[in-house]
Amino acid sequence: MIQKHFTEQIAIFFSVAKWVFLSSLIGVIIGATVTSFLDILEYAETSRSLLPFPYYYTLPFALVLTVWIVRTFAPSAEGHGTEKVISAVHRDNAKIDISVIPVKLLATVVSIFAGASVGKEGPGAQIGAGVASALSSLFKFNKQDRKKLVICGISAGFATVFGTPIAGAIFGVEVLIIGVILYDVLLPSFIAGFAAFTTAQLLGIKYTYYNLHFYQNITLDLSLIGKVVLAALFFGMVSDMVITSVSFTAKIIKNIKLNIYIKAFLGGLIVVVLALIFGEQYIGLGLDTIENVLTPNTTLVGDVHWYTFILKTLFTSISLGAGGSGGILTPIFYIGATSGHAFATLVSPEHLILFSALGFVSVLSATTNTPIASTIMAVELFGIDIAHYAALGAVISFLISGHRSIFPSQILAMKKSEMLSVKIGEEVENITANLEEKEKNKINQIKNRFYTKREMLKKRKWNRKE
């Protein structure tokens, strides 16, 4: 008995030691690689001033170039990054072509330089996963270890770009399957996330954090809790709008019978025209707008209107649908923060910053189905005072958005309502939610009672007239 117990402990010790070493190594390598990507991206953004005309005029040509680069050298680098990584983990035993790393990096830099409304987190995750997959192939790891290492790569990539090592690590393991956290990858993901984040900081990457405690008093009170619940319902509907808009626009553009390069050029041209009409704040990463709605200086938010989040959704949908390469999460942060600002302007003006922060994490939670990572991110970015409200907002919005996702390759492992019948174990894009038979019967009974009562009232009225 003692010998078996000792053997078990020794085996666990060696397993933990193995993954501490591997995840630390992969975290450092990915932290350095993604830092290079972020540095190149920053250099590209600062280089815009060298152009003798507004930089976003180059967008139609940039999208054509991006589509050509991706189609020619790495078709699997298409889209917004994270989706391709999830698909690779579920369908291809986490095998990712090494060419994805330079191609995704270049295509994303070109897209963001020219003003495409895309983000940098998805490419960071895809680059991280690509590095992990390449190392797995180099050292001939088995399928199980390869998957673990690639998931560590996703977490390390997110942690490096987010600047939130715990949320980044959790996001990497939570985003793959809706309703399940892969506990066997939790330790390696945490270590990889911390190692990548620390490496990025040592290499000079600086992150922005917003401690709401210094901006406004956030205390527990019933009135504010009620408003947060209402806001969470609103954020769930905003998330549904984002998911529907991105997928619908991509399908529409795909079904247009034109050469793919002509579609990319025209899509870029439409974004340029929209920017000329509505303003430049809707193109590119939009980090200035996000920062403005999360700071107490109200003079900085003059360009934020009640419809800002709707326009950003439109710009992002066209940018991605027309062939722009980049992530979807930065636009989601923008949409979430500005939708929270719009909600607070109408319902609770004294809590503008709080609801902007709640929108930031709640829309992320609902569009990506990651309520735990989103709650932790709220604490890491905004401070502990927001924790209880962030958890409430993240979970309610996650449920309200339904069985859909901005990442259609996510696998569903839970249903969000006992009244619905959904097929567990399917990818989200194949999910159809229907009412359970017993719920259908209840509704039919209510309908029958309603119609019977209405007929009886009609007869009574008719009898009185007679």
The domain limits of the chain are: 2-202, 212-412, 436-465
* 347-367 residues labelled b (16+ CB within 10 A) or e (exposed): ebeebbbbbbbbbbbbbbbbb
- pLDDT score, position 15: 87
pLDDT of 39 above 80? yes
Q: What span, in angstroms and rounded, lies between the C-alpha atoms of 391 and 324?
A: 33
- pLDDT top residue among 450 and 369: 369
The Cα-based distances of 435 to 25, 53, 401, 448 in angstroms read: 48, 55, 16, 18
Convert the pLDDT of each residue in 194-220 to its tens digit.
999 999 999 999 988 887 765 556 677
pLDDT band, residue 383 (cuts 50/70/90)? confident
| Beta bridge pairs of residue 178 | 412
Residue 302 in tokens: 């003059």
Across the range 225-236, mean pLDDT stands at 96
Provide, rounded to the nearest whole percent, the portion of the chain with pLDDT above 70.
Answer: 89
Give the tens place of pLDDT for each residue, 79-102: 677 788 888 888 878 888 888 889
Residue 215 vs residue 116, higher pLDDT: 116
pLDDT tens digits, 126-153? 899 999 999 998 888 988 899 999 999 9
The per-residue pLDDT for 204 is 92
pLDDT for 213 equals 61
Q: Give the 3-state DSSP-derived string for 355-418, with helices as H, strands as E and coil as C.
A: HHHHHHHHHHHHHHCCHHHHHHHHHHHHCHHHHHHHHHHHHHHHHHCCCCCCCCCCEECCCCCC
Same fold, 2-202 and 212-412: yes
**217 or 65, which is more confident:** 65
Indicate if the pLDDT at residue 60 is higher than 70.
Answer: yes
pLDDT digits (tens, 9 = 90+) for 395-419: 999 999 989 999 988 999 888 888 8
Residue 178: its H or E element: strand 177-178
Tokens at 197, concatenated: 């984040």
**Of 465 and 283, the one with more pLDDT:** 283
CA distances from 275 to 53, 131, 410, 433 (A): 14, 36, 33, 38
pLDDT higher than threshold 80 for residue 423: yes
The topology (CATH level 3) of 2-202 is Clc chloride channel (1.10.3080)
Range 212-412: architecture per CATH: Orthogonal Bundle (1.10)
Give mean pLDDT, residues 61-79. 88
Residue 67, phi then psi, degrees to nearest 5:
-60, -40
User: Does the pLDDT at position 64 exceed 90?
Assistant: yes
User: Sign (positive/negative) of CA torsion 275, 247, 251, 79?
Assistant: positive
Supply the pLDDT for residue 14: 87
Least-confidence region, from 17-26, 74-83, 195-204: 74-83
CA dihedral of 395, 400, 406, 407, whole degrees rounded to 10:
70
pLDDT-derived band of residue 301, with 50, 70 and 90 as boundaries? low
| 155 — pLDDT class (breaks 50, 70, 90) | very high
Q: Taking Cα atoms as reference points, which of 73, 124, 135, 120 lies closest to residue 100?
A: 73
Beta bridge partners of 434: 421
The DSSP line for 237-272 is HHHHHHHHHHHHHHHHHHHS-S-HHHHHHHHHHHHH
Average pLDDT over residues 165-184: 90
Give the DSSP H/E element, type plus range, for residue 435.
Answer: strand 434-435
Q: What is the mean pLDDT of the chain?
A: 88
Task: Give dist(CA 301, CA 341) in Å, integer.
Answer: 10
The whole-number pLDDT of residue 87 equals 84
The pTM score is 0.91
User: Is the pLDDT at 57 greater than 90, yes or no?
Assistant: yes
A 10 A CB-CB count for 278 gives 18
What sign has the CA pseudo-torsion 403, 130, 105, 159? Answer: positive
Mean pLDDT of 25-50: 94
